[in-house]
Amino acid sequence: MTINRIGLIVPSSNVTVETELPRILAGVEGVEFSFHSSRMRMHAVTPEELAAMNAQRERCVVEVADAGVDAVLYACLVAIMATGLGEHRLVEDAVAEQLSADGSSAAALSSAGGLVRALRDSGVRRVALVMPYMRPLAQQVVAYIENEGFEVVDWRALEVADNAEVGCIPSQRVFDAARSLDLSRADALVLSCCVQMPSLSIVEEAERELGLPVLSAATAGAYSILRSLNLPVNIPGAGSLLRADAVLAQ
């Protein structure tokens, strides 16, 4: 069986993306994946540390490319969205150019671009968000998503600055934040607009209780990987986005 090798570029303090993404993609029947990470040093989710982390990208691309990967995912959503509007296109193009120069044809992806693509492909127009960030960064994420053509109808920021602590936020706290949102006009909910804040265990439960499609940075990242590799999107237990028979919004 062919192994699809996935390169992950992650903040050094991230412990969630390397847990949730393999768990999701393990649900693709008859397809095998392996995961190969390179880490960028970052502890606090602040503009200064995010900028310093982004400066390490080129080294990380070289490291994961050495593993002969089929796709590279830049797995820090806020690092891109806090840099500037439309930044995911610039980052993905830069990574693709670097990979190509090194003789690699791997797909260049990002968590930020993956979320935008998942929302767009699903026909979502109005979305609600739950994020772990401090309010100024959260407001930048809202502005970024709205600049991509979506209306953010409501959002919550849990205001956790330490990235290690973000990875330990209880799922009940995330769910309670989602329950507090006004979802009356939303087409979909992004339960975790951050690859470090765990949410996979409650995506399906949130869909059932809240009555609308629920996705996360992790499920959107998995969707982006599958689409880029022309693999089937039909995974149970991870929300409507990844079910072949589901349509999120029209």
Active site residue 60: no
Element (H, E) at 32: strand 32-40
Residue ranges for the known binding site for substrate are: 14, 76-78, 133, 163, 195-196
Q: Give the separation between CA 148 and CA 168, rounded to whole angstroms.
A: 30
User: Which whole-number Å values give the CA distances from 71 to 92, 194, 219, in the listed order?
Assistant: 11, 20, 16
pLDDT digits (tens, 9 = 90+) for 96-155: 999 999 899 999 999 999 999 999 999 999 999 999 999 999 999 999 999 999 999 999
Residues 6+ apart with CB under 8 A from 42: 11, 12, 13, 49, 50, 52, 53, 76, 79, 163
Q: Give the separation between CA 169 and CA 5, rounded to whole angstroms.
A: 29
Active site residue 76: yes
pLDDT digits (tens, 9 = 90+) for 4-16: 999 999 998 999 9
- Sorted by where each starts, the structural domains of the chain and their CATH numbers stand as 3-110+218-233 (3.40.50.12500), 115-217 (3.40.50.12500)
DSSP state of 70: S
Q: Which of 60, 168, 193, 194 is catalytic?
A: 194
Q: What is the pLDDT of residue 54?
A: 86
Q: Which of 60, 76, 168, 193 is catalytic?
A: 76
How many whole angstroms from its chain centre is CA 20?
A: 11
This prediction's pTM:
0.92
